[in-house]
Amino acid sequence: MFSMMKSSKNLIIGASSSGLYTAIRLANKNIESSVFEIREDKARKRTLIITPEIFNLIRIPDELILNKIKYFELYSKNYRIKIELKKPDIVIERSDFLLYLENIAKKSRVKIYRGYRFENLIEDKNKIFAEFSVNGRDKKVYFEFNNLISADGVGSKVLKIINKKFKKIYLYQARVKLPQFHRKDTVKIWFDRSYTDYFVWLIPCNKYEGVLGLCVDEGENVRKSFEKFVKNYNLEVLEPESGVTSHYEPSFIPEYKINGKKIYFVGDAAGQVKMTTVGGTYTGIWGGYCVFKAIEKNKNLKKFYKNLKRELDVHFYMRKVLKRLQTDEFDLILKKAEKKFAFLFYSTTRDNARKLLVKIFRYEPSIFWLGMRKIVKDVNLRNLFFDFFDFLY
């Protein structure tokens, strides 16, 4: 059965940004790892916008940066505000970023197996093996391991083995011609319930093109909402990009044990998605860093994961507030907090939601208490109260 058996101390399923980053950090400490990826060619294109927080974890060379964003314009039905960023966000192409990480991993002597599909975990004689099928071969390949890291997205087979399933969020965006007079350094965001109860975004890639997109929860028609917006705003679509991500769950701790071996989850496979923005590149890489530290120090993941979990928890509850806001309340918030929001978002990125929430509490408490009223039906108020002051201190 195990005639084609190999071993690796750390198996990483999925050459995603979180998976490759974990491998790179392990390699930098001379800890062996191997990455397995079903794709044999380049990843599908998708344009991403990332806050400068990413530079705390990894360098991104200038040649990968398509554009830098200095301003955000937020639109409700009857109001508009403009927010300046102290440090610009960057716009990158996902497939180019993955190739960049893969090249770093290879230079760090990480083994990358392409065309390998993870199938199952097999227990035999007190040992546990990861089973793979290989494109173009009939026989299966088995790897013994100490740690298995699942970085293979919301459809992860490793998640299925532990009987875990995340709700999905469907994204649809497309390259479009920028409207006349649209500034290259400005992202536009629309809060409009007639399209989605998240938001619609338009992110410039250069002077002439940008990506327009929106997302919806599982069971809703994302393509229909997108086409409705395109028609109403008379935009010209050039090239579609779509994707699926996972819905974050505060109760899920991305560490599991089978037969004494550790299984970790990072990125979309762990639900490490900011629910306010549905962004997961930075938080997924942060999740990879947490797993790296747990393996390096041979400690429980919770010790290193707690700060990321708190950050994701704040986004989760802020999303609950945003989901419940009515159209007139969006108008009220933008109008009432225009100057304060401009100050808060200038000095604090959206990847620092805990700090942002504390500042809203201090500088615009009426907005904070509006949010508290919106989520009190879902969360035990006493626990939330103490959690909030835990964020403060």
| Confidence (pLDDT) at 386 | 45
| Confidence (pLDDT) at 376 | 59
| Confidence (pLDDT) at 385 | 45
Where do the structural domains in the chain lie, given as residue ranges?
5-43+95-164+251-304, 47-93+167-246, 311-392
DSSP secondary structure, 338-374, as one string: HHHHHHHHHHS-TT-HHHHHHHHHHH-HHHHHHHHHH
| Confidence (pLDDT) at 342 | 79
- Per-residue pLDDT tens digits of the chain, which is 393 residues long: 555 666 678 999 999 999 999 999 999 999 999 999 999 888 888 999 999 999 999 999 999 999 999 999 999 989 999 999 999 999 999 999 999 999 999 999 999 999 999 999 998 877 899 999 998 788 899 999 999 999 999 999 999 999 999 999 999 999 999 998 899 999 999 999 999 999 999 999 999 999 999 999 998 999 999 999 999 999 999 999 988 999 999 999 999 999 889 999 999 999 999 999 999 999 999 999 999 999 999 999 999 999 999 999 999 988 988 888 888 888 888 887 777 777 878 888 889 888 877 777 777 766 665 666 655 555 544 455 445 445 444
Query: What angle separates helix 302-324 from helix 381-392, to the nearest 10 degrees?
Result: 120
Q: Tell which CATH classification among 3.50.50.60, 3.40.640.10, 3.40.630.10, 3.40.50.2300 matches the domain 5-43+95-164+251-304.
A: 3.50.50.60
pTM of the predicted structure, to 2 decimals: 0.92
Element of type H or E holding 81: strand 80-93
Which residues, in sequence order, are bridge partners of residue 84?
71
Residue pair 35/20 in contact by the 8 Å Cβ criterion: yes
List the structure tokens of 153. Answer: 């997205």
Q: Which residue type is seen at 187?
A: V
| Confidence (pLDDT) at 367 | 65
| Confidence (pLDDT) at 40 | 84
Second CATH level (architecture) for the domain 47-93+167-246:
2-Layer Sandwich (3.30)
Instruction: Work out the number of other CB atoms within 10 angstroms of the CB of residue 240.
Output: 13
| Confidence (pLDDT) at 375 | 59
The radius of gyration of the chain's CA atoms, rounded to the nearest angstrom, is 22
Pairing between strand 80-93 and 65-75? Answer: antiparallel
- Name the 3-class secondary structure at 303: helix
| Confidence (pLDDT) at 203 | 98
352 CB burial (10 A radius; 0-12, 13-18, 19+) = middle
52 CB burial (10 A radius; 0-12, 13-18, 19+) = middle
| Confidence (pLDDT) at 115 | 95
Q: How far apart are the first and last CA of the chain?
A: 55
List the structure tokens of 154. Answer: 């919301």
| Confidence (pLDDT) at 114 | 95
